[in-house]
Chains A and B, each alone.
Chain A
């Protein structure tokens, strides 16, 4: 049985994907990849998405692990960086799930560093770029640390904007209107898909 928090969040994220969406899955967001596969299998089979440079990778064809050169990427046609950035600035992508350390009350996002110690979190990767070019950003954290949702982020990796946020595996909040919704339990098929195909080794439960 898949971790219930993972299954609930994954299903809730999958339900955010509209049939006409083109989803860009960033590096270091395996939950986003899993949720997109769940959406494609159980809700919106015609969506298009790009993960690790691959367009519509078949389910579980690449790992949910992040860095991984173990993934058999070479089996799939891959877009170049030039292609991806052209598509990004051309407005191709409509949705990205991101997993920041902080989300501000104005929709600002921090994936870079925390004050006052200037603790480095990781870095921006392409988030300032996607914030300016992707129509919807949805922030999530499976098990957020205290201070995930703050009045002012310590560092604006991306500045103020409209953001939907999954505060944890139970609550969805529109940051700008403060409207909150409790997440429903997912159908049994989601557990089965995660357990047997997408995440049999339970990588996602580590957030």
Chain B
């Protein structure tokens, strides 16, 4: 794990391969890592990826506009925040794999634990489930039919924190935000993880903040304002 600044960041060795998978944390316009996403585009050099983003916002449109997206995996494409993505899907330039919340989290839950699949209880008659070719397995204990989603590992996850300690632990505000734990699922399902934070704090200066992801989980922390503090 290394800590760098937004100005000095390089993403060498962390970019997904062409056709690989990228998980983008946040919800709609909240908790987005704009500096890292910009650098990702600058470093892409013709590569494009499948982007996992549960409820995308403007960040997805930015990636689409710069031609680094071949497929979107999400539950929603909002007309106000993702118009370019919607257009790209409508004219066939980008594929949209529409998934439900349980399908999205189930795939990443399995991937994060290196299990082959995850059982979920969703509507199997839905065109969403049919479009994802969900398979059933027989429960080895009861024989009951169980619907599953396949595991998904991500080549890279990009998420947002508030601060990083000098030891490399990433912090967020102690009071939760809606669906903020979904970001940790991306982190644990990814082979490489980049976290963007606002500033560095000393390990004894963490009031109002709590650990979101540990140094063990993370490959690169990008600090937007290295001179800032809590």
Contact = CB atoms under 8 A, between A and B. Distances in A.
Interface stretch (B97-105, B136-144, B196-204): B97-105
A138 B76 CA distance: 21
B77 interface: yes
A189 to B, nearest CB: 30
Given A85-B102, A89-B102, A126-B102, A158 B179 contact: no
A157 B131 CA distance: 11
Contact of B126 (A67, A118, A125, A158): A158
A53 B127 CA distance: 27
Interface in A105-120: 112, 117-120
A52 B75 contact: no
Contact of A74 (B75, B121, B128, B175): B175
A146 interface: no
Interface stretch (A3-11, A76-84, A165-173, A198-206): A76-84
Given A112-B127, A129-B122, A159-B125, A124 B176 contact: no
Interface residues of B, number: 41
- Of B76, B173, B175, most A-chain CB atoms within 10 Å: B76
Interface string A35-68: 0000000000000000011000000000000010
Contact of B90 (A85, A120, A126, A155): A120
Contacts of B179: 53, 80-81
A156 B124 CA distance: 11
Contact of A122 (B78, B105, B127): B78
B98 A124 contact: yes
Contacts of A133: 121
Interface residues of A, number: 37
A80 B90 contact: no
Interface in A136-153: none
Nearest to A111: B76
- Of B121, B122, B179, most A-chain CB atoms within 10 Å: B122
B148 interface: no
A12 to B, nearest CB: 26
B230 interface: no
A128 interface: yes
Interface of B: 28-30, 55, 74-79, 86, 89-90, 96, 98-103, 105, 120-129, 173, 175-182, 185
17 contacts: A27-B55, A69-B29, A73-B177, A89-B120, A119-B90, A120-B89, A122-B79, A123-B75, A124-B126, A125-B100, A127-B100, A128-B128, A128-B129, A131-B122, A131-B123, A156-B126, A159-B126
Interface of A: 27, 52-53, 67, 69, 73-74, 77-78, 80-82, 85, 88-89, 112, 117-120, 122-129, 131-133, 155-160
